[in-house]
Structure 1
């Protein structure tokens, strides 16, 4: 059995197993509710409908026109901050579950390199976790489009997903597939959450060295 066949078979198995887990959908739905609340509170209405700006340089209110493209980018950024947390938590137990259910013992009886199986496991489980995130993100983009119809929003939303949101999810997926091999899953999940906030969301006001604002920041500098 060649490596491509092993990768394809493992990918299909992992995708099928992960996409049917209710916890994946539930966690990402809860995460998305939090994301949309933050987006709506800090950016949504003003960027979609316009607002009056006040400031020391212009005491008279100045009308700022709607900026639906910025609304898309803000949504992508908020999603990039928090969706990888949910994806990482849901992927952390994949290898541990295989050991618990003795799936690895069955797979070891089949020919094929271990590296190909691990790659298939990573791709399949990541795609299955990525699909709900993409669907939920698309609903958010659909809402923006319904409020401010602009054909250019669709390609912009896709580019934002690929450039802003996807790298963080892939990073979290790789982290959560590999490290729980050496660390117990609950401990890893706690450390992963702490790491994510430290490396990606830590405010400079705390004066703690962090990766925020650097090229090593998983959600973008």
Structure 2
């Protein structure tokens, strides 16, 4: 029993501040999550599925570095957040199945560091396959178009891919406390297609094509001249301010989800 606890229970920092405890929890969560084969299979599988037939169809003929990288980023972000959210959503169930809830509650780490450590560590681990695949793509594009692709690719990852992934990570480590992982996965799948892939041409109210979508279309179109699918259908030409708003909205929603969940869990905690 002692050996099992040593392998499964998160390390705690009896002495130290909030940040030290959060870092310790994040390190534990990262190492646990990044070793899971499902993380790599699901996330890389969805990236490969989308990029096997990339959009736009003439993507291979694009030579401008900004547009080329932006359109590849659009293909990456189309499906991989579903995989990221799906494999993260079961963290709550796994801890319950391993009967770790009481053990973790009894440690001096505290609710806040455990929650934020889970979001940072497990989230970073689940995004790692996306970063690895993106690095591989940049290597391929560099061989085809030169080293100028690399700085553009790093910037595109930061402002097109990462905000939406952070948004999904935050939801995936908080909402399942309320819904459970199965219902959350169904909801995530429905939201992602409705909010990011069902454009206004279908006549359904949707945030697609507005600054409140999560697929990075506004930063892609404004700063990298990427293809604007849904914004163009709305007759919108995004501005730099709207691109910033789009990123800020996703990050603020992620922050709000974590803060609200911490408050709720703190109130429920027997300590």
Q: Which residue number corresponds to residue 191 of structure 2?
A: 195
Q: After TM superposition, what 4+ stretches of structure 1 lie above 3 angstroms from structure 2?
A: none
Task: Please state how far the C-alpha of 1:187 moved relative to its aligned partner.
Answer: 1.6
1:91 and 1:112 map into 2 onto residues whose CA distance is 21
Whole-Å separation in 1 of the counterparts to 2:188 and 2:109: 32
Alignment RMSD (CA, Å): 1.5
Q: How many residues align?
A: 202
Work out whether 1:161 is the aligned partner of 2:157.
yes
Match of 1:102 in 2: 99
Mapped pair 1:152 → 2:148 = yes
Matched, 1:75 2:72: yes
Aligned match of 1:84: 81
Give the structure-2-normalised TM-score.
0.71
Moved more, 207-216 or 160-169: 207-216
CA 1:22 to 1:144, structure 2 compared with 1: closer, same or farther past 3 Å? same
Contact in 2 for aligned 1:43/1:74 (Cα 8 Å): no
In the alignment, which of 80, 93, 108 is matched to residue 111 of structure 1? Answer: 108
Match of 1:129 in 2: 126
Please give the secondary structure, in 2, of the residue aligned with 1:42.
coil
Q: In the alignment, which of 147, 151, 169 is matched to residue 173 of structure 1?
A: 169
2-structure distance, mates of 1:89, 1:145: 32
Aligned partners of 2:36, 2:145: CA distance in 1, in Å?
35
2:23 equivalent to 1:5: no
Deviation for aligned residue 1:40: 6.8
The answer to which of 98-107 and 34-43 deviates more is 34-43
Listed one character per residue, the Cα deviations across residues 135-183 of structure 1 (whole Å, up to 9, x for unaligned) are: 001111211111122x221110000000000001000001111111011
Q: Which runs of 5+ in 1 are unaligned?
A: 48-65
Higher relative contact order (CA 8 A, sep 6+): 1
1:37 equivalent to 2:52? Answer: yes
Secondary structure in 1 matching 2:179: coil
Q: Distance in 2 between matches of 1:108 and 1:188?
A: 24
Question: What TM-score comes out, normalization by structure 1 length?
Answer: 0.86
Distance of 1:172 and 1:153 partners within structure 2:
27
Q: Deviations over 1:191-219 (max 9, x none)?
A: 11010111111122210000112221112
Deviation at 1:78, TM superposition (A): 1.5
Assess if the C-alpha contact under 8 Å between 1:88 and 1:173 holds in 2.
yes
- CA shift for structure 1 position 184: 2.3
Q: Distance in 1 between matches of 2:19 and 2:104?
A: 16
Structure 2: distance between partners of 1:133 and 1:104: 30
Hey, what's the Cα distance between the residues in 2 that align with 1:32 and 1:140?
11
Instruction: Name 1:14's counterpart in structure 2.
Output: 29
